[in-house]
């Protein structure tokens, strides 16, 4: 056919839809989306023709069908994909923070795919509270009298301040007016909750008498916020929790302690210091203690609230509880995670966050050397060397402390470090590392051993 008018010889959507290769696509994907993809490809061809390109036989129904199928496949790919985390950052907020224990993932899956006694007491057959699933475990692990849980620690902060302090003043040290990230700032949270922020002290020094001088009949609480993601060093002074509690008792004002990261076991064993334990906070007499479920605890995203029964009851009666409460999958995963902690040895073995942090350096070195050897053997890899390094824990915790690490530094023969990183991000599963001095750095601590083969395969197909 002569192409006197190339536009006129373009196939129609119906022509393209009739191409035999597309019938299997039609079996899997909605026709509407396929039609959309064909239209998009046709529009592209028209643009090219308009720009004067000679498409000479390239704009056939078959060619367009293939292009449309590729476009559609890309379009319907899930947005959330598996990632192999080779950054060494155990709690990588952009990668979903804590990977959950198998028991927790199983519990979430079971809860998701069936029915469960979410709000039903199986003994009495009567309605119960969904919080019963975690109350006893949190109390046991923290020593608190009562407990409840919401969607995250940000929500916990809002609901605690609202339920206990709305319309009244809350005293906070200026050294603790933190921004956790993503515009979650204590002063803003205070405003949202309807409590009035009463700042005392200075950035570096706050003394007990600063708190005491600020207490009035309108004071609803003394709030301590753990400086999870920063440290104030040098000429500094803050008030120990026990002193704050004594002051609160004297004036009949409750103390709220936002411990943030929610370590349930002492992180000193991993060589980190300064992470408060919820248990210590309860023992020191804090009336309400808040912490995250998916930071150092290593569970699902959640905000745990432990404390005196009267306070917990008020919090649960707050109308926001309905909006902030956990769904069945998260609750199931949270309960399973908490139960692992009933036996510390089991938690260390089964909670991935703890297991990764507890991996001996010699073991990391062995894994890095093994990975380096496999990568170096790939055609297209110029060099792959195991070297010792340092890494951060992440997740807005332990900001000033690194842990020793072993990494593999990879250099491709013909691909730049940035291009290699891009291809690895596009790979399925995606692989995320770090870039340094023109090399791709893969930290083995956060790579599950079962993912090592997939990691090597991803690099092999990206160079």
Ligand X SMILES: *Cc1c(COP(=O)(O)O)cnc(C)c1O
Q: How far is the CB of 97 from ligand X (least distance, A)?
A: 8
- Per-residue mark of binding to ligand X, 19-58 (x: CB under 6 A): ----------------------------------------
CA-to-CA dists, residue 98 to 13, 302, 333, angstroms: 47, 11, 12
Rounded to a whole number of angstroms, the minimum distance from the CB of residue 317 to ligand X is: 22
d(CA 388, CA 406): 4
Using CB under 6 A, which of 260, 276, 298, 394 touches ligand X?
Answer: 260
Q: Hey, what are 336's tokens?
A: 């399973």
- Cβ proximity to ligand X: between 134 and 180 the closer is 180
Handedness of CA 341, 444, 406, 89 (dihedral sign): negative
Interaction mask 380-399, ligand X, x per CB under 6 A: ----------------x---
x/- map, 277-296, ligand X, by CB under 6 A: ---------------x----
Part in contact with ligand X (CB under 6 A); list of ranges 84-92, 221-229, 349-357, 402-410:
221-229
Rounded to 10 degrees, the C-alpha dihedral 196/201/205/206 comes to: -70
Nearer to ligand X among residue 261 and residue 359 (C-beta): 261
Shortest separation between residue 204's beta carbon and ligand X, angstroms: 19
Asked if omega into 429 is within 30° of 0 (cis), the reply is yes
Q: Do 407 and 386 touch, CB atoms closer than 8 A? A: yes
Q: Which residue is nearest to ligand X (CB)?
A: 260
258 near ligand X (CB under 6 A): yes
Report the residue number, 69 or 225, with the smaller CB distance to ligand X: 225
Smallest distance, ligand X to C-beta of residue 260, A: 3
Distances (CA, A) of 219 to 96, 171, 176, 254, 258: 38, 7, 18, 9, 18
Report d(CA 410, CA 429) in Å as an integer. Answer: 19
Task: Measure the CA–CA gap between 52 and 55, rounded to whole angstroms.
Answer: 9
Nearest to 156 by CA among 243, 249, 240, 225: 225
User: Shortest approach of ligand X to residue 154 CB, angstroms?
Assistant: 3
**Closest among 221, 309, 227 to 276, alpha carbons compared:** 227
Q: How far apart are CA 200 and CA 173, in angstroms?
A: 5
Six-digit token pair at 48? 């090219």
161 burial level (CB within 10 Å; 0-12, 13-18, 19+): buried
Q: Does 353 bind ligand X (CB under 6 A)?
A: no
Binder to ligand X among 16, 149, 225, 391 (CB under 6 A)?
225
Closer of 180 and 371 to ligand X (Cβ): 180
62, 65, 69, 70 alpha-carbon torsion, rounded to 10°: 60
CA gap 126, 289 in Å, rounded = 30
Closest CA to 257 of 179, 324, 325, 173: 173
CB of 368 to ligand X, least distance (A): 30
* Binding segment (CB under 6 A) for ligand X, from list 10-18, 202-210, 225-233, 411-419: 225-233
Tell me, by CB under 6 A, how many residues bind ligand X. 14
11 binds ligand X (CB under 6 A): no
Min separation Cβ 20 and ligand X, Å:
52
Smallest separation, CB 180 to ligand X (Å): 4
Q: Which residues of 53-88 are buried (b: 16+ CB within 10 A; e: fewer)?
A: eeeeeebbbebbbbbbbebbeeeeeeeeeebbbbbb
- Nearest residue to 425 (alpha-carbon basis) of 462, 453, 451: 462
Name the one range near ligand X by CB under 6 A: 163-171, 254-262, 276-284, 405-413.
Answer: 254-262
Q: How far is the CB of 165 from ligand X (least distance, A)?
A: 16
Listed residue (86, 98, 77) closest to 431, CA to CA: 86
Least distance from ligand X to the Cβ atom of residue 354, Å: 18
CB of 305 to ligand X, least distance (A): 12
Cβ-in-10-Å burial (0-12, 13-18, 19+) of 123 comes to exposed
95-154: contacts with ligand X (CB under 6 A): 152-154
Nearer to ligand X, 86 or 333 (CB): 333
- Stretch binding ligand X (CB under 6 A), from 122-130, 243-251, 255-263, 334-342: 255-263
Site string for ligand X, 297-316 (x = CB under 6 A): ------x-------------
Binding part of the chain for ligand X, among 35-43, 136-144, 231-239, 257-265 by CB under 6 A, reads 257-265
180 is a contact residue toward ligand X (CB under 6 A): yes
**Residue 224 structure tokens:** 């301590």
Compare residues 37 and 302 and give the one whose CB is closer to ligand X: 302
Contacts with ligand X, residue ranges (CB under 6 A): 152-154, 157, 180, 225-226, 228, 258, 260-261, 292, 303, 396
């Amino acid at each position: 056919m002569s192409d006197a008018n190339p536009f006129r010889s373009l196939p129609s959507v119906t022509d393209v839809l009739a191409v035999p290769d597309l019938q299997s696509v039609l079996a899997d994907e909605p026709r509407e989306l396929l039609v959309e993809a064909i239209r998009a490809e046709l529009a592209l061809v028209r643009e090219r023709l308009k720009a004067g390109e000679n498409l000479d036989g390239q704009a056939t129904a078959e060619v367009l069908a293939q292009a449309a199928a590729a476009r559609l496949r890309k379009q319907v790919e899930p947005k959330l994909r598996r990632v192999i985390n080779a950054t060494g950052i155990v709690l990588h907020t952009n990668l979903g923070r804590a990977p959950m224990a198998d028991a927790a993932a199983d519990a979430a899956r079971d809860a998701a795919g069936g029915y469960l006694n979410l709000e039903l007491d199986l003994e009495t057959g009567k309605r119960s509270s969904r919080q019963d699933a975690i109350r006893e475990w949190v109390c046991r692990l923290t020593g608190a009298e009562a407990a409840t849980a919401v969607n995250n620690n940000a929500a916990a902060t809002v609901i605690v301040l609202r339920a206990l302090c709305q319309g009244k003043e809350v005293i906070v040290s200026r050294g603790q007016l933190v921004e956790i990230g993503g515009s979650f700032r204590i002063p803003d949270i205070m405003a949202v909750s309807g409590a009035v922020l009463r700042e005392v002290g200075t950035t570096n020094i706050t003394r007990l008498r600063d708190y005491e001088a600020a207490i009035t009949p309108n004071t609803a609480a003394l709030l301590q916020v753990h400086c999870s993601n920063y440290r104030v060093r040098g000429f500094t002074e803050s008030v120990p929790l026990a002193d704050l509690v004594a002051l609160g008792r004297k004036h009949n004002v409750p103390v709220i302690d936002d411990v943030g990261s929610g370590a349930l076991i002492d992180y000193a064993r991993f060589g980190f210091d300064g992470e408060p334990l919820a248990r210590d906070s309860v023992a020191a007499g804090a009336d309400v203690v808040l912490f995250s479920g998916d930071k150092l605890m290593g569970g699902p995203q959640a905000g745990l609230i432990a404390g005196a029964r009267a306070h917990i009851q008020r919090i649960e009666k707050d109308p926001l509880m309905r909006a902030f409460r956990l769904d069945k999958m998260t609750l199931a995963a949270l309960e399973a995670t908490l139960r692992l902690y009933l036996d510390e040895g089991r938690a260390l073995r089964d909670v991935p966050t703890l297991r990764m942090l507890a991996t001996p350096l010699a073991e990391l070195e062995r894994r890095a050397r093994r990975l380096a050897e496999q990568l170096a053997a790939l055609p297209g890899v110029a060099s792959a060397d195991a070297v010792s390094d340092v890494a951060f824990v992440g997740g807005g915790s332990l900001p000033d402390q690194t842990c020793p690490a072993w990494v593999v530094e990879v250099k491709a023969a013909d691909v730049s470090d940035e291009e290699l990183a891009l291809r690895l991000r596009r790979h399925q599963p995606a692989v995320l590392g770090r870039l340094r001095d023109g090399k791709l750095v893969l930290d083995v601590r956060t790579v599950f051993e079962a993912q090592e083969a997939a990691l090597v395969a991803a690099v092999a197909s990206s160079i």
